[in-house]
Amino acid sequence: MTTETSQLTSAPQMLLAMQLVGGFGGAPGAWRMPGVPLDSYTDMDAHVRHAQAAERGKVQLLFFADTPALETDLNVQPQRHVIDPVVVMTSIARETKRIGLVATASTTFNEPYNIARQFKAMDVISHGRIGWNAVTTSNPEAAANFGVAVPPRPEKYGRAHEVIQVVEALWGSWGTDALIGDVAAGIYADASKIQPINLGGQYVASRGPLPIPPSEQGQPVIFQAGGGQNGLELAGRYADGVYANPYDIASAKAQRDALRAAAVAAGRNADDIKMFAGFMPTVGATKRDALDRRRALDESIDLRQRVAYLGHMIGLPLRYEDIDQSVPEQVLERAVANPSDPRSDHALAVVREGWSLRDVIAHGVIDYHPVVADTPERIADFMQEWFEAGACDGFSLSIDSLHDGVDAFVDEVVPILQERGIFHRDYEGATLRDNIHAAPRYGRDPRVIGES
Ligand SMILES: Cc1cc2nc3c(=O)[nH]c(=O)nc-3n(C[C@H](O)[C@H](O)[C@H](O)COP(=O)(O)O)c2cc1C
- Tell which atom from ligand 1 comes closest to the C-alpha of 278: 1
Contact status, residue 392 vs residue 13, Cβ threshold 8 Å:
no
Q: What angle do CA 83, 234, 210 make, to 5 degrees?
A: 60
**How large is the C-alpha radius of gyration of the chain?**
23
Query: Residue 34, preceding bond cis, omega within 30 degrees?
Result: no
Measured CA to CA, the distance from residue 390 to residue 256 in angstroms comes to 8
In tens, the pLDDT along 196-205 reads 999 999 999 9
- Tell which atom from ligand 1 comes closest to the C-alpha of 243: 1
In tens, the pLDDT along 334-363 reads 999 999 999 999 999 999 999 999 999 999
DSSP-derived secondary structure letter, 261:
H
Q: How far is CA 104 from the centre of its chain?
A: 9
**Single-letter code of the amino acid located at 422:** I
> Where does ligand 1 bind, in terms of residues with CB under 6 Å?
65-67, 104, 106, 135-139, 153, 156, 225-228, 230, 243-245
pLDDT at residue 450 in the model = 63
Q: How far is CA 370 from the centre of its chain?
A: 14
**Single-letter code of the amino acid located at 55:** E
Strands 179-182 and 274-283: unpaired
pLDDT at residue 4 in the model = 45
pLDDT at residue 346 in the model = 97
Confidence of residue 186 (pLDDT cuts 50, 70, 90): very high
pLDDT at residue 452 in the model = 47
Confidence check: pLDDT of 2 > 50: no
Measured CA to CA, the distance from residue 30 to residue 368 in angstroms comes to 16
Measured CA to CA, the distance from residue 255 to residue 160 in angstroms comes to 21
Least confident of 175-184, 253-262, 275-284, 440-449: 440-449
Cα 41 to ligand 1 centre (Å):
23
Measured CA to CA, the distance from residue 94 to residue 180 in angstroms comes to 27
pLDDT at residue 448 in the model = 83
Q: What is the mean pLDDT of the chain?
A: 96
Measured CA to CA, the distance from residue 93 to residue 101 in angstroms comes to 8
Contact status, residue 279 vs residue 396, Cβ threshold 8 Å:
yes
Contact status, residue 174 vs residue 118, Cβ threshold 8 Å:
no
Question: Which residue, 444, 428, 448, is CA-closest to 436?
Answer: 428
More confident residue, 239 or 446: 239
Cα 314 to ligand 1 centre (Å):
28
Cα 46 to ligand 1 centre (Å):
27
pLDDT at residue 347 in the model = 97
Average pLDDT rounded to a whole number, residues 33-38: 96
In tens, the pLDDT along 307-317 reads 999 999 999 99
Confidence of residue 433 (pLDDT cuts 50, 70, 90): very high
25: Cβ–Cβ under 8 A, 6 or more apart, which residues? Answer: 398, 399, 400, 401, 402, 403, 405
9: Cβ–Cβ under 8 A, 6 or more apart, which residues? Answer: none
Average pLDDT rounded to a whole number, residues 382-397: 98
Confidence check: pLDDT of 58 > 60: yes
Confidence of residue 409 (pLDDT cuts 50, 70, 90): very high
Cα 25 to ligand 1 centre (Å):
19
Ligand 1 atom 28 nearest Cα:
226
Best residue among 110, 132, 138, 164 to mutate for probing ligand 1, ranked by most atoms within 8 Å of CB: 138
**Single-letter code of the amino acid located at 289:** D
pLDDT at residue 441 in the model = 95
- Tell which atom from ligand 1 comes closest to the C-alpha of 133: 8
Confidence check: pLDDT of 7 > 60: no
Confidence of residue 5 (pLDDT cuts 50, 70, 90): very low
pLDDT at residue 283 in the model = 98
Average pLDDT rounded to a whole number, residues 294-323: 96
**Single-letter code of the amino acid located at 359:** D
Give the bridge partners for 15, in sequence order: 394
Ligand 1 atom 29 nearest Cα:
226
Contact status, residue 92 vs residue 101, Cβ threshold 8 Å:
yes
pLDDT at residue 22 in the model = 93
pLDDT at residue 1 in the model = 40
Average pLDDT rounded to a whole number, residues 71-89: 95
Average pLDDT rounded to a whole number, residues 174-183: 97
Phi, psi of 402 (to 5 degrees): -65, -30
Measured CA to CA, the distance from residue 306 to residue 198 in angstroms comes to 53
Ligand 1 atom 26 nearest Cα:
227
pLDDT at residue 8 in the model = 56
In tens, the pLDDT along 203-225 reads 999 999 999 999 999 999 999 99
Average pLDDT rounded to a whole number, residues 367-381: 97
